[in-house]
Structure 1
């Protein structure tokens, strides 16, 4: 399968991409409309048999579903930006700084 052995690394990359999408409406829309291509364009390698679907529910979690024929379905959570999270806080987190991050609000797959 085309997913890396080190899932933690992949999840961290996806969390960072989601944070970037919260700051960039065009990236958010592209991730919704072309999830697999957007992941590939951001360095996440997927084989052609992996279908990526987006779940925009606030409590969504990643799911790797069984095969449908030769297709593997990966459900990628893309929750809306939390109301209590500012662009500055997201930017700080993307830069590796977590000080001042509000309690209880963490990016998906928090690093």
Structure 2
């Protein structure tokens, strides 16, 4: 499987993608409707046997699980943008001007 050894790095990339999606409705909708293709298009390599499912719960965390067959399911969190989070806070984090994910929100690993 093409998941990196450093899961924290991979999950940080997904958290950044979620932040970008909170600023871009088209990206959010694409992540929701075509999660695997969107991850691939953004440099996150997935093998063909990895199925991506989206969990939109505000407290969702990433989950990786096997099945009885050869498919591996990656459950990706894609919470809605919190009401108390501003676009400016998200942008600061995406630009690297803030080390912690904004507002104490837990998106993926950060």
TM-score (norm 2): 0.92
TM-score (norm 1): 0.91
Describe the shift of the 1:88–1:54 C-alpha distance in structure 2 as closer, same or farther (beyond 3 A).
same
Q: Secondary structure at the match of 2:52?
A: strand
Describe the shift of the 1:84–1:41 C-alpha distance in structure 2 as closer, same or farther (beyond 3 A).
same
Describe the shift of the 1:62–1:107 C-alpha distance in structure 2 as closer, same or farther (beyond 3 A).
closer
Describe the shift of the 1:56–1:102 C-alpha distance in structure 2 as closer, same or farther (beyond 3 A).
closer
C-alpha separation between the residues in 1 aligned to 2:17 and 2:67? 26
Structure 2: where are the runs of 5+ without partners? none
Give the equivalent residue in structure 2 for 1:92: 92
Structure 1: where are the runs of 5+ without partners? none
**Given that residues 93 and 102 in structure 2 are in contact (C-alpha distance below 8 angstroms), is that contact kept between their aligned partners in structure 1?**
no
User: Cα offset for 1:104?
Assistant: 3.3
